């Protein structure tokens, strides 16, 4: 019998397994796909490694939040690459360029130079970012009542906050311009908006060789501590005994005994597993099955010709319209925004590959759902090819030489994301949510980006909260 079975080998599931295995619990991780990692997966084409969902992380300098967490998980030994402190992100809004710098005072000063008449607004937002960024671990000590209070940043809407405190529309768009690393919708909580921005202002890092290294290292650590990690292992049903999940059905035929279950998969998929469980109310199952998903992403993964395009140690965010409306753009429209992300080259000053991303709605690819990867209809392939060329044209305006440097192009949509990561509707940021929740009922627990915060830091915090719900304490004092 296992003390804990973790369903899904994404970042949150592997971190929970690490924490509990380190405490001496008998842990097993069950992943239905051939590869572990979830959104951390990488793929290789013609010798070039591409990331699927990982691009960069924030707060990794000594003593900063993610540094402290990753030290616990023994992840600081990986090949981290620090981005430009004087401009780790470049926001281009309606043709004008704005550098986002590390350090809250540098961040404030740069914005004041661009918007000298907006001092009060800039000071207000900078102080919000600073307060949340420097006190991220306070989220670990908040009780449910404070999270639900009217003035809680988990309950205040980020867009409403900006509309109330930032009158200048250009400034509001620049402050929001590092989307798409968060879903800019009217439902985005202020805490999510501030915490994500703040963590990157603290410091910003890429990883040389791809984000899959994080998942692989965690999995190996779990095994060394006595845990088990399996791929190609589909959980098909929860089996109940005495108002708890006592067994997991595997592949529709085998079963294992468990004391606790952590689901690192989408709530909709978890509810399918819990269909016969009586201690979870029908209304509760229906509510979790119907949770709204965030929008997805279209990505052009581009292999470059050798020695043609110099590596840029920053991200470029391009916006040609209101940033907060970009998540509603249709596939039939030309993209109005793009994130240009360079992979750290294996050697030398020239880039080897670059990713260009733009929001994409599930409804634009839903009719192709059920078709198999590499065997989709030509219509689907044509949509992808056209979107990739449009993105390259857009990015080439601000990264001169990009178009001529293109060697090969590989593309993905929310449908790709759904098929390879198991994310419902290909949602890039999980479900639309307001605050974290770690427990479904009795001995069923949640973790991952669908349950709390998204992103590497957010999921890491969620995994610590989930483990605390089971053990009653954090593994270390953060």
> Splitting the chain (478 residues) into consecutive groups of 10 residues, what average pLDDT does each group show?
95 96 96 90 88 93 95 96 97 95 97 97 96 83 56 81 95 91 85 93 96 96 96 92 91 90 90 88 85 90 96 96 86 90 92 95 94 92 95 96 96 91 84 68 86 84 90 83
CA distance 409 to 396: 15
pLDDT in tens, 447-459: 987 777 778 998 9
Tell me if residue 467 falls in helix, strand or coil: helix
For residue 262, what are the β-bridge partners?
6, 445
List, in order, residues 6 or more apart from 180 with CB less than 8 Å away: 297, 326, 337, 339, 357, 358, 359, 428
Please give the pLDDT value at position 331: 79
Helix (H) or strand (E) holding 213: helix 212-224
Phi, psi of 246 (to 5 degrees): -105, -25
Q: Kindly compute the dihedral angle of the four CA atoms of residues 187, 192, 198, 200, in this order, to the nearest 10 degrees.
A: -100
Helix (H) or strand (E) holding 405: helix 402-405
For residue 97, what are the β-bridge partners?
92
CA distance 256 to 245: 11
Helix (H) or strand (E) holding 381: helix 378-396
Please give the pLDDT value at position 252: 83
Please give the pLDDT value at position 68: 95
- Neighbouring C-beta atoms of residue 426, cutoff 10 Å: 27
pLDDT in tens, 330-342: 878 889 999 999 9
Cα 130 to Cα 103, 133, 152, 182: the distances in Å are: 9, 5, 16, 18
Dump the DSSP string for 58-97.
Answer: E--STTSHHHHHHHHTT-TTS-EEEPPTT-SEEEEETTEE
Q: Is 252 left (phi over 0), alpha (psi -120 to 50) or beta?
A: left
Q: Count CA atoms closer than 13 A to 346's CA, side-chain side.
A: 9
List, in order, residues 6 or more apart from 225 with CB less than 8 Å away: 18, 21, 22
Q: Which spans in 413-474 are helix H?
A: 414-421, 455-471
Q: Assess contact for 194 and 128: CB atoms under 8 A.
A: yes
Instruction: Locate 447 and state its tokens.
Output: 């973790």
How do 296-304 and 353-360 pair as beta strands?
antiparallel
CA distance 3 to 13: 15
Helix (H) or strand (E) holding 275: none
Q: Assess contact for 458 and 467: CB atoms under 8 A.
A: no
CATH topology of domain 2-54+210-291+430-471: FAD/NAD(P)-binding domain (3.50.50)
CA distance 391 to 358: 8
Please give the pLDDT value at position 431: 81
Instruction: Locate 78 and state its tokens.
Output: 């990986």
Angle, alpha carbons 139-145-151 (nearest 5°): 75
Q: What are the structural domain ranges in the chain? A: 2-54+210-291+430-471, 105-205, 296-360+366-412
Find, among 161, 166, 234, the residue nearest to 191 by Cα: 161
CA distance 420 to 415: 9
CA distance 161 to 188: 11
Distance, C-alpha 406 to centroid of its chain: 27
Please give the pLDDT value at position 150: 57
Find, among 260, 265, 270, 264, the residue nearest to 23 by Cα: 260
Please give the pLDDT value at position 306: 94
The beta strands (E) that lie in 335-405 are given as 337-342, 353-360
Look at the block and give the residue holding tokens 């060697």: 407
Cα 292 to Cα 284, 430, 445: the distances in Å are: 15, 9, 20
Instruction: Locate 358 and state its tokens.
Output: 């733009």
């Amino acid at each position: 019998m296992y003390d804990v079975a973790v369903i899904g080998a994404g970042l949150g599931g592997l971190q929970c397994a690490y924490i509990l295995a380190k405490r001496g619990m008998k842990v097993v991780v069950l992943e239905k796909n051939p590869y572990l990692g979830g959104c951390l997966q990488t793929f290789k084409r013609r010798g070039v490694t591409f990331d699927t969902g990982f691009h960069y992380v924030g707060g990794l300098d000594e003593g900063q939040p993610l540094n402290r967490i990753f030290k616990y998980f023994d992840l600081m030994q990986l090949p981290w690459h620090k981005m430009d402190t004087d401009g780790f992100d470049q926001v281009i809004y309606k043709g004008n360029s704005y550098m986002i710098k590390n350090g809250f005072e540098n961040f404030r000063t740069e914005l004041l130079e661009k918007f000298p008449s907006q001092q009060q607004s800039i000071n207000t937002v900078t102080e919000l970012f600073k307060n949340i960024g420097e006190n991220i671990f306070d989220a670990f000590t908040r009780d449910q009542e404070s999270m639900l209070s009217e003035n809680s940043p988990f309950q205040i809407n980020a867009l409403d906050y900006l509309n109330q405190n930032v009158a200048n529309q250009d400034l509001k768009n620049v402050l929001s311009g590092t989307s798409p690393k968060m879903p800019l919708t009217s439902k985005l909580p202020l805490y999510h908006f501030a915490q994500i921005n703040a963590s990157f202002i603290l410091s910003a890092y890429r990883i040389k060789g791809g984000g899959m290294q994080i998942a692989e290292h965690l999995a190996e650590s779990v095994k060394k501590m006595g845990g088990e990690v399996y791929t190609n292992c589909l959980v098909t049903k929860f089996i109940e005994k005495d108002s708890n999940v006592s067994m997991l059905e595997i592949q529709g035929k085998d079963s294992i005994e468990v004391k606790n279950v952590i689901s690192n998969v989408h709530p909709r998929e978890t509810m399918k597993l819990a269909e016969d469980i009586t201690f979870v109310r029908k209304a509760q199952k229906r509510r979790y099955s119907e949770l709204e998903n965030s929008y997805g992403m279209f990505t052009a993964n581009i292999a470059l010709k050798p020695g043609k395009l110099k590596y840029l140690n920053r991200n470029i965010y391009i916006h040609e319209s209101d940033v907060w409306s970009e998540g509603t753009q249709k596939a039939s429209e030309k993209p109005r925004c793009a994130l240009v992300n360079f992979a750290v080259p294996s050697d030398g000053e020239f880039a080897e590959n670059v990713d260009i991303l733009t929001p994409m709605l599930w409804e634009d690819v839903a009719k192709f759902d059920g078709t198999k990867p590499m065997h989709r209809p030509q219509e689907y392939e044509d949509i992808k090819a056209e979107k990739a060329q449009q993105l390259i044209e857009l990015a080439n305006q601000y990264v001169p030489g990009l178009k001529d440097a293109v060697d090969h192009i590989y593309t993905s949509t929310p449908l790709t994301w759904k098929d390879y990561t198991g994310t419902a509707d290909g949602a890039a940021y999980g479900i639309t949510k307001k605050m974290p929740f770690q427990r479904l009922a009795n001995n069923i627990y949640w973790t991952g980006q669908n349950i709390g915060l998204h992103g590497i830091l957010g999921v890491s915090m969620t995994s610590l909260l989930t483990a605390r719900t089971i053990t009653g304490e954090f593994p270390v004092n953060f």
